[in-house]
Structure 1
């Protein structure tokens, strides 16, 4: 059990850097960081086409109890993303339209939760972006202490307050606050490389040649044969 605490003065990533990361998709950011930072494919968007980035305000709760989400709302700032986990698996609908209303008016860009949400149609209509591991009408209580703005485990990664959350139709990726500038530089380099490859493919070049994959196929024992020879060998 983590100590019940609410940390009030977290250090956030600069908003200009957050905005710059928001221009890149989760796949690009993940690859740019060396294929790390993904909580897992279970974090799915409830909407289509949303693409956000923001500073993490973290919440550690008990299953079926949203008390600490209420406490976290007091700590958010414009440009934040609320990130919620529980100390054991939960699918209960811990978050809905009323929470989203309170967060949206404070400039929060979205929610990532390792639990359930409800009021999904309302959340879509109001344009509040959510990535969750479940959707459930099951309600919750407000009775158990947890923590706000401490490092939490979200799926496969650790999220610290002030880390940058990037989320889109492909899922969620977490960029540690200390890695933001390096990740931005790597994203830009990757986009330049992809642009060159895209142009080459439009001109008819094959990936086998552009990425020099033919020697690899050969080293792995992959042979080119005609269909007739293949069928003859199979007899």
Structure 2
């Protein structure tokens, strides 16, 4: 199979605005984007392993990648002597050890997806119900990690959009540290760079390189609308009441607003 021809595609960091481009993906499904990626020769590029899954059904987001790279801490947490210290363990850990990306929340913009590579760190919930909600309040539309998330009952109750490889129990101190942000990382077999488009729905996750995102969005839109029209005919034949999944007019209004 020949390699995708990207010679004439715009380079990352060009005039393409990923925060505008992501809006063209909002109505489409991950499956539509996978079809579009195949159509331009990007077979299996950007497909994230199915081991990394949404924590609850019905989750959907499209956003701009903000990347975090983590590694095992390589130093243990010391014994804490008071209940107050146990409660404040994270603050004590960061004060003593430092944190290369302590202020990353302040860099988040509305529309970001925080993609976290845990660097093979095992059995630690880097994301939990409180810090994930903090990212969302800063504007993040999704959080993706190839590690664990804890407090998953609360995450589900809050409908915080977290995708993780597993469910965890333990906390950051003594286990994991962030060393870099906004750098290329690998997650679930896919490369993710700052500014790439990251999408999620019940089918899984996909990463669209920003160089081809506009082209992919155009094709995915056509795939979605063709499927909706075919399915609405099936609804009519079966006497089924229309629902949002066959609301062609809503999708057309979405794109008309973007292009008007």
Q: Deviations over 1:166-194 (max 9, x none)?
A: 11111111011111110011112322443
Does structure 1 residue 85 correspond to structure 2 residue 94?
no
Please say if 1:27 is aligned against 2:31. Answer: yes
In structure 2, what is the equivalent of residue 155 of structure 1? 188
Alpha-carbon shift at residue 15 of structure 1 (Å): 2.7
**C-alpha displacement of 1:69:** 6.3
Instruction: Give the match for residue 132 of structure 1.
Output: 164
What SS does structure 2 have at the residue aligned with 1:162? coil
Q: Give me the CA root mean square deviation.
A: 2.7
CA distance in 1 between partners of 2:233 and 2:59 (Å): 30
2:80 is the alignment partner of 1:47: no
Do the aligned partners of 1:13 and 1:177 also contact (CA within 8 Å) in 2?
no
Q: Partners of 1:124 and 1:183 in 2: how far apart? A: 31
Q: Select 1:174's aligned residue among 203, 207, 210.
A: 207
Confirm or deny that 1:189 pairs with 2:193: no
The correspondence of residues 98-113 of structure 1 with structure 2, limited to 5 A, is 98-113=130-145
Q: CA deviation at 1:105?
A: 1.6
State whether residues 92 and 140 of structure 1, in contact with CA within 8 Å, keep that contact through their aligned partners in structure 2.
Answer: yes
User: What is the 5 A alignment of 1:190-209?
Assistant: 190-195=223-228, 197-198=230-231
**Mean CA deviation greater in 41-50 or 183-192:** 183-192
Q: In the TM superposition, what is the alpha-carbon distance from 1:124 to its structure 2 partner?
A: 1.9
Range with greater deviation from structure 2 (164-173 or 11-20): 11-20
> SS of 1:18's equivalent?
helix
TM-score, with normalisation over the residues of structure 1? Answer: 0.73
Q: 1:70 to 1:179 in 2, by over 3 A?
A: same
Question: Which range moved further: 70-79 or 123-132?
Answer: 70-79
Counterpart Cα distance in 1 of 2:153 and 2:177: 29
- Return the offset for 1:198: 4.1
Q: Structure 2: how far apart are the matches of 1:194 and 1:138?
A: 44
* 2:25 match: secondary structure: helix
Q: Give ranges in structure 1 of 5+ residues lacking alignment.
A: 1-9, 205-235
Q: Could you say which residue in structure 1 is the equivalent of 2:197?
A: 164
Contact 1:116–1:133 (CA<8 Å) still a contact in 2?
Answer: yes
| Corresponding residue SS for 1:29 | helix
- Aligned to 2:67, the other structure's residue is in SS state strand
Question: Gaps spanning 5+ residues in structure 2: where?
Answer: 1-12, 75-93, 238-260
Q: Deviations over 1:179-217 (max 9, x none)?
A: 11100111123224434654787799xxxxxxxxxxxxx
Larger RCO of the pair (alpha carbons < 8 Å, separation 6+) = 2
Larger Rg: 1
Query: If the length of structure 2 is used for normalisation, what is the TM-score?
Result: 0.67
